[in-house]
Structures are given as C-alpha cells and as structure tokens.
Amino acid sequence: MAGALNITTARPDEELGGKFSYAYTPEFEQSDIQGMITGSLSDTVRARLFLQSKTMDKGWLKNEYYGTNDPTSEEIFGRATVEWDASSNTLITLMYEKSDFTFDSFPHAIINAGPLAGIGSFNSHTAASIGNSTDAMDFGSSQMMDGESTEFMISSETTLAAGTINVIAAHSAYDFERFLDADYSPLDGIRFDDTCLLYTSDAADDSLRV
C-alpha cells in the first residue's frame, strides 16, 4: 500500500556478452531495436553499452484535418557504464545517458464535441479534426514535441570495517520544444508554444551506511 519504487540499471559484467532484439508491430508500423554489449576492458575495468531505437509511423487515431494517423514518434536512447576497481575496497562508477525524441503528433480526440460539433469537431475515440490553416498558427500537426536529455553520474563506493561510504555527483539536463493546437478544433483559435526550455540540475550526495 505504501513504499518506494527503486529502479537500478544493469551493471557491467566481467565476461564478454551481449544481446540484440528487434520487434515490429505492423498495425502501427512500430519498431523497437535494442542492443547491448558488456565485458572487461582490463583486470580492473568493466564496461556496458546499451542502445535503443523506437519508431512509430502510424497511430491509432485518424486526424481528418491533416490526413494523418496519430501519434507518430521517433526515439533514440543510449547508456554507457564503466566500473573501475580503484582499490581492493573502492569501486568507481561512471554512467552517461543520452536520449533524443521527436513526437510529430499526439492522439488527441474530442469525446464530447458539444458546440464544437458545428465546426467539424467529432464525438469520437478514433477520429479527430484538429489543426490550423494560417501561416502564423499552423505547424502541421495537432501537437509536436522535439527534445533531448542528458545524464552524467560518477560515484565512489568504499567498504570499510565500520560500513560503506558512498559519494555521488550527478548532472542532468532536459531540453525540448513543444507546439500545441490548444483549442483542439479545426479553428485557427489558440496555439500554445513551449520552446527552448532548458532544465539542468546538479546533485552531490555523501552518505555513510553502517
């Protein structure tokens, strides 16, 4: 009923190994490619590299305004992890993550069009008519989002007779551009832009576990 969700990424292995997978969903023209390789670089250094690419070219909702099947997306993600046995009781870990994502449309639908029905908005779970026509308002979709994120972390774990000392430093950044037809109709009404928003954070943590 209560508690915390703790997600830990996979650590490098000493033995050389790897995985590759490919999945495809014809209904949505959706593909998911994943690859991983891990192993020792020396007697004291191990590494792991993971890459993933996801695309969806045909969504489940028809936007009659643009003649598109929403949503469509393209995502690329990578993570590199290196572990170094600095001494017999100290482990240094470096992790770097990078992702890029593009969502060209979203599955917005109007369940109850109400007075908007008269201008061509649909009462539907599977179809919509959302868009703009003027140059100042139109961006070619009901919503678009394009961005990237970066994560870097270095940690030191030292095991002593009295307990374990962990020292962690991290940096994260999230940058995106977003455009939205905020009136959810075929009218040139309200367009919402949320562009060039950059969020960065740096964190350091020293802890002693006994």
pLDDT at res. 207: 56
On whether the pTM is more than 0.95, the answer is no
pLDDT at res. 209: 45
pLDDT at res. 205: 62
pLDDT at res. 6: 78
Report the alpha-carbon distance of residue 75 to residue 180 in Å, rounded. 20
pLDDT at res. 7: 79
In which residue are the tokens 């690419």 written?
Answer: 53
15-19's contacts with Cβ under 8 Å and 24+ in sequence apart are 15/39, 15/40, 16/40
pLDDT at res. 206: 59
| 10-residue averages of pLDDT along the chain (210 residues) | 78 95 96 97 97 96 94 97 95 97 92 86 91 91 93 94 91 90 91 71 56
